[in-house]
Amino acid sequence: MKNRLPGITVQRLPLYLKCLDDLPAGQVQVSSEELAARVGLNAAMVRKDLSYLGSYGVRGVGYDVEHLRFHIKQALGLNNKWPIVIVGIGNLGRALANFDRFSSEGFHAVGLFDNDPEKVGDRFDGLAIEHIDELPAAVADRSAVIGVIATPAQAAQEVADLLARSGVRSILNFAPTVIKAPPGVKVRQADFSTEMQVLAFYLHQQS
């Protein structure tokens, strides 16, 4: 076991976690072979990924499902409850706010923000929508560490700047534009059009 996981392993750990959830109720052991088939990867890769977490398998048997789930969540920091804020409460923002697996997955929404005064006060997921001007104080008061951007593209950079200044340490950007953030603020791009365009490439190739 090394104490540093490759970035790409970090990206696969959430997939293993989802596969564990999909196992038949009552299944107590799982082999690298079975997990690999479920995620669509090679068994050696699964074993190598999991070995970075420590030696939690049993030779000749496999991995204990609950034990493994615990250690993956541990490695990802999902045994905390990270406070997050969501900016832009259109259809996408509402979908995110209603996402009820937050609680089981290490996050909880502590603020919903929009710049439309019409929307302020509406409630989702037990939270009232607040005006974007309230964001800096809210992030500080509620110790939010992740900001989710679900605004139109033209507002995204401005919102990212505001989030960064307010003190979040990570940004998940759903707007179809590339945003910059100061060093120390980790950004992930999570947008629909990028994924679609990648699929288009493979369609195009075939034809």
Nearest to 156 by CA among 181, 185, 120: 181
Looking at residues 56 to 95 of the shown chain, list those that interact with DNA (rule: CB under 7 A): 56-63
Smallest gap from Cβ 59 to its own copies, in A, equals 26
Question: Cβ–Cβ contacts within 10 Å for residue 102, how many?
Answer: 17
Q: Of residues 29, 31, 39, 56, which one binds its own copies by CB under 8 A?
A: 39
Residue 161 CB, shortest distance to its own copies, in Å, is 15
Write the DSSP symbol of residue 78. Answer: T
Pick the binder of its own copies from 28, 44, 95, 140 (CB under 8 A): 95
Q: Pick the piece of the chain touching DNA (CB under 7 A) from 36-44, 87-95, 173-181, 194-202.
A: 36-44
CB under 5 to 8 A by kind: which of DNA, its own copies, none does 44 bind?
A: DNA
Q: Decide whether 60 or 205 has the Cβ nearer to its own copies.
A: 205
Contact 11, 4 (CB under 8 A): no
Give CA separation, 10 vs 13, 49, 73, 76, 158, in Å: 5, 9, 11, 8, 29
